[in-house]
Amino acid sequence: MTNPPRWFLSGATAAALASGLIATGTATNAYADDLETTTLGGSAQLINGDVVQRWTVSALQPSSDAIPYPVTGTLWEAKASDAALQGNAIPIVSNFNARTRDGHDYRVLFTAATPQGVNPATLTQGQTTTGKLYFDVTGPPPDSVVFNAAGHDLAVWRPAPPPPPTSSGTGSVPSASTTPQTALPAANSSTPTAAPAAIGATPPPAPEAGSAGTPLPAPGATSPAPAATAPPAPAAGSAGTPLPAGSAGTPVVTPPAAADSAGTPATPTAPVAPPTTTAAGPPSP
């Protein structure tokens, strides 16, 4: 059974990487000074003369790996990959740092020989290597990774910004702006109602009986007898309610005239019998 390879840097190689003295081909280690900032999980291109390589860094987090290094704080890791886009590129792992929010750096543990680390061997054009970067975090936790050469930041991987807050009803409940608010008022205005007209309005009193539609008597004419005068109309609101006897619509019975009144023959009386006279006869003997 073969042991997995361990990426180990000799003392001279590690020192050269730390000082940025290693060059690819005949070009010197002169990276472009333009700082490229991206988010964790993104990629950044590093240009060193005619050599172009692309680093991708992600998943900065505490690590549970066991590495041959005397960690004094908390072991952290980040996943990294390097691709040679143009020319032969060397993955200079020693240029990486984990940085806290307030700017404190933790140098990558590039001298730790572990099979999980990034292979520092030279990449030919088109090749890619992938592994982990380890950091001994002895203070505040880091939140970004920086590629720094000769004291200059060339690439920074920051945490992704939080997503913008979304509405609680998005996609399920229509928001208030999408609901027409004028539907109810429009329906109310289109529906005629009699209530507003009735409020505060007093119906006119019913005309008295005999005034509407009854011809007035001609001048000089004899006024009709009081008995023939129709009773007043019922008050408003009594329509449909039976009225007592003798009201409008019921003929009034005229009482009989008194005896010996004008124009009425007197009732004949029985004749009185004449008194009877008894003749006195002669006295009896």
CA-wise closest residue to 136 among 67, 90, 51, 205: 67
Q: At 275, is the pLDDT very low, low, confident or very high (cuts 50, 70, 90)?
A: low
* Better-scored residue on pLDDT, 147 or 27: 147
Q: Tokens representing 22? A: 């290693």
Average pLDDT over residues 152-167: 90
- For the chain, give the mean pLDDT: 70
Residue 220 is predicted with a pLDDT of 55
* Better-scored residue on pLDDT, 50 or 263: 50
On the question of pLDDT at 108 being above 60, the answer is yes
Residue 77 is predicted with a pLDDT of 98
Q: At 163, is the pLDDT very low, low, confident or very high (cuts 50, 70, 90)?
A: confident
Laid out side by side, the sheet with 36-39 consists of: 36-39, 152-158, 144-149, 96-99, 105-107
* Better-scored residue on pLDDT, 22 or 39: 39
Average pLDDT over residues 193-216: 51
Q: What are the extents of the domains in the chain? A: 11-158
On the question of pLDDT at 46 being above 60, the answer is yes
Sign of CA dihedral 96, 97, 103, 104: negative
Tokens 């005239």 identify what position? 257
Q: 208-246 pLDDT, tens per residue?
A: 544 445 555 555 555 555 455 555 554 544 445 554 454
Residue 110 is predicted with a pLDDT of 94
Average pLDDT over residues 75-104: 97
Q: At 16, is the pLDDT very low, low, confident or very high (cuts 50, 70, 90)?
A: very low
On the question of pLDDT at 190 being above 60, the answer is no
Q: What is the spatial distance between Cα 168 and Cα 132, in angstroms, rounded to a whole number?
A: 39
Lowest mean pLDDT among 80-94, 119-133, 217-231: 217-231
Q: Residue 140's Cα: distance from chain center in Å?
A: 41
Specify the CATH class of 11-158 in words: mainly beta
Residue 223 is predicted with a pLDDT of 52
Q: At 40, is the pLDDT very low, low, confident or very high (cuts 50, 70, 90)?
A: very high
pTM of the full structure: 0.51
Please enumerate in sequence order all residues whose Cβ is within 8 A of that of 230, keeping only pairs 6 or more positions apart, or say none.
209, 210, 248
Amino acid at 71: V
Residue 20 is predicted with a pLDDT of 40
- The pair phi, psi for residue 264, each rounded to 5°, is -120, 120
Q: What is the spatial distance between Cα 56 and Cα 132, in angstroms, rounded to a whole number?
A: 11
Q: At 31, is the pLDDT very low, low, confident or very high (cuts 50, 70, 90)?
A: low
The answer to whether the beta carbons of residues 267 and 238 sit under 8 Å apart is no
Residue 232 is predicted with a pLDDT of 54
